[in-house]
Amino acid sequence: MRKNKSKWPRLKMKGLRRRWLTNSMVLICSLGLVCVLIVTTVFAAYYYSTMESNMRYRAKTTTEFFADYLNQDYKGFYQSCITYAKTFEDKNKIELQFINVQGRMVASSYGSWAGSAPGTPEIAKAVETREAQPFIGKNPQTGERIMAVSSPMIYRNGEVIGVLRYVTSTRMMDMQILMIGLTSLCALGFIVLVVLLSSNYYIRSILLPLGEIIDKAQRIANGSYGIQIQTKYDDEIGDLAEMINEMSLKIGENEKLQHDFISSLSHELRTPLTAITGWSETLLSSDKLDQDTRRGVRIIHREADRLTGMVVDLLDFTRIQDGRMTLNMETVDIRSEFEDTVFMYGSRLAQEGISLKYEENDQDIPEISCDPQRMRQVFLNILNNAVKHGGEGKLIDASIVFKDDYVTVYIRDYGPGIPEDELALVKKKFYKGSSKARGSGIGLAVSDEIVQMHGGELILENALSGGTLVTVRIPASQ
């Protein structure tokens, strides 16, 4: 039996790899970003706290140094502030400012700033609390991020006469923090790359043998019983392969026993059925039978014919399974073969009150290369199914056309149709679904295989206005 190679294992492998990598990468990247954020935050807090502590210390020592000048009068004190600001040694790193209680600048180590107001809130707070106060934020005048510490300067009478203020830009420190963050991200990227490569190698070591196992398992599911999976892994994958190998062998043995039994039984049944059919025909040809006896003999003959058809199907089925079915190809007028089958079967159906309507046409239908006996078997099987499953509609349509280089046969009944969830299964061997009609369930499977051996296809579908439509397509040129 021909089998189509499935893409299912490859697609599943892709899905498994993607799911594995996605889950692991999301977890690693999430944890890594959290770590980068924590590291950057810790370093930022450390740098800022260190700078603030340093500026607080500077402000405290400078305020203590100016305590001696606070005994002078106001004019002398402010002159001392201006002189100290001009001679401040660290003016290239940090700015020293002297600010009066109104928030106006008296002196600055950066130059002449007299009269301007820094405008930051820690100045007024330092005057109010009489304690050093920090500030981190944007300079209201320039928009630059700064850090400042303002320390109150208390006169000898206890009055706060001004504020000593250290202020510096945080640009260099922010750049260092940014570099730490970027370095951490680069390290995270390197770790993710290493994990990605190692995970891909590890997944590949699992997916390659697993893909082989899935491929062989699907071949077993398609009927290639007895095949074995070769694996060198001594782990769970190896155990899985061994279990599938054992299952394949057991299924193969069971299938062989089943086929042998069916073949033997079918051959044994043919002899008594031939005798029953022959003697029933002999009895029916006699004029000495009364009406009731003739009716009984006719039933015996009909049932013997039905059983003979089932035996033929069983024999064909075993030949298909064993690969022994062959075709006796010859050039045939397929229209004549189909019409003969329809007319012969139609007269039989008329006795049961079922009309078999053949739609004639004037189309030229070419002769094709086929096995005429097997094709008649296909037509009879389909007509039998139409009677069994759609006979209550009392009408069966049949037609044959030549279309798209295919000879196409249509047979349609007007019964209840096939449930949608069973359409894909009705051609499988022994499948009968929800139908309560008598039969072995292999007629369509045999017919489908015969049609495929001719290079064609057998299609079952529900007709739009009810009933089942069976389409047989046989290529005209092979």
Q: What is the CATH number of the domain that holds 288?
A: 1.10.287.130
180 three-class SS: helix
Q: What is the pLDDT of residue 406?
A: 93
Q: Whole-number mean pLDDT of the chain?
A: 82
Q: Residue 70: pLDDT band by 50, 70, 90 thresholds?
A: low
Whether residue 437 is predicted with pLDDT greater than 60 in this model: the reply is no
**Distance separating alpha carbons of residues 17 and 226, to the nearest angstrom:** 30
Residue 179: the pLDDT is 94
Predicted confidence (pLDDT) at residue 401 exceeds the cutoff of 90? yes
Q: What is the mean pLDDT of residues 36-46?
A: 93
**Residue 109 class from Cβ within 10 Å (0-12 exposed, 13-18 middle, 19+ buried)?**
buried
Q: What is the CATH number of the domain that holds 23?
A: 3.30.450.20
Is residue 408 domain-shared with residue 461, that is, in the same domain?
yes
Query: Do residue 101 and residue 178 come from a single domain?
Result: yes
Give yes or no for residue 73 having a pLDDT over 90. Answer: no
Residues 133 and 148: their CA atoms lie apart, in Å, by 8
pLDDT at 8 over 50: no
Domain-ending residue, one of 322, 352, 386:
322
Q: What is the pLDDT of residue 1?
A: 38
Residues 375 and 470 both lie in one domain: yes
Examine the domain organization and report whether 471 and 385 are in the same domain.
yes
pTM for the model: 0.47
Residues of the chain with pLDDT > 70, as a percent, come to 86
Pick the last residue of a domain from 215, 244, 276. 215
pLDDT in tens, 246-272: 787 777 777 777 667 766 766 677 778
- Please state the rounded mean pLDDT for residues 221-225: 68
Task: Give the whole-angstrom CA distance, residue 277 versus residue 275.
Answer: 5
Determine, yes or no, domain membership for 224: no
Q: Three-state DSSP class for 93? A: coil
Question: What sign for the dihedral angle of Cα 204, 209, 211, 214?
Answer: negative
Rounded Cα distance, 433 and 437, in Å: 10
Instruction: Give the best-scoring range by mean pLDDT among 65-79, 304-318, 383-397.
Output: 383-397
pLDDT single digits (tens) 179-222? 999 999 999 999 888 888 887 777 777 777 777 777 777 777 76
- Considering only residues 64 and 224, tell me which one the structure prediction assigns the higher pLDDT: 64
pLDDT at 10: 44
Range with the poorest average pLDDT among 42-51, 279-288, 330-339, 426-435: 426-435
**Amino acid identity, position 455:** G
Do residues 378 and 338 make contact, with C-beta atoms less than 8 angstroms apart?
Answer: no
Q: Indicate if the pLDDT at residue 137 is higher than 50.
A: yes
Residue 450 within a domain: yes
Residue 170 and residue 46 share a domain = yes
More confident residue, 69 or 143: 143
Residue 118 maps to a domain: yes
Do 198 and 267 reside in the same domain of the chain?
A: no
Number of structural domains found in the chain:
3
Does 285 map to a domain? Answer: yes
Within-domain flag for 225: no
| Predicted local distance difference test score (pLDDT) of residue 5 | 42
Instruction: List, as one string, the DSSP characters of 256-311.
Output: HHHHHHHHHHHHHHHHHHHHHHHHHHHHHT-S---HHHHHHHHHHHHHHHHHHHHH
Q: How many CB atoms lie within 10 A of CB 239?
A: 12
Most confident residue range from 75-84, 143-152, 209-218, 419-428: 143-152
Which pLDDT belongs to residue 168? 92
Average pLDDT over residues 228-248: 75
- Positive or negative, the CA dihedral 288, 293, 294, 300 is negative
What does the pLDDT read at residue 112?
Answer: 61
CB 382 within 8 A of CB 399: no
Does a structural domain hold residue 335?
yes
Q: Are residues 300 and 443 in the same domain?
A: no
Spatial distance between the Cα atoms of 42 and 177, rounded to a whole number of angstroms: 10
Which domain does 263 fall in, by range?
236-322
- The pLDDT of 6-33, averaged and rounded, is 69
233 pLDDT higher than 90: no
Is 348 found in the same domain as 279? no
pLDDT of residue 433: 58
CATH of the domain at 438: 3.30.565.10
Task: Kindly report which listed range (173-187, 226-240, 273-287) carries the lowest average pLDDT score.
Answer: 226-240
- Measured CA distances, 104 to 73, 164, 285 (Å): 19, 12, 136
Considering the domain boundaries, does residue 144 fall inside one?
Answer: yes
Task: Identify the pLDDT of residue 79.
Answer: 79
pLDDT in tens, 81-116: 888 888 888 888 899 988 888 888 888 888 766 667
Regarding whether 124 and 202 lie in a shared domain, the answer is yes
Same domain, 318 and 340: no
Please report, rounded to a whole number, the percentage of residues in the chain having pLDDT higher than 90.
28
3-state secondary structure of 163: strand
Average pLDDT, stretch 311-330? 75
Q: Which of the given ranges, 32-46, 57-71, 186-200, 240-254, has the highest pLDDT on average?
A: 32-46
Residue 227 lies inside a defined structural domain of this protein = no
pLDDT per position as a tens digit, 353-386: 888 999 988 888 999 999 998 899 899 889 988 8
Do 78 and 204 lie in a common domain?
yes
Confidence of residue 138 (pLDDT cuts 50, 70, 90): very high
- 317 and 454 belong to one structural domain: no
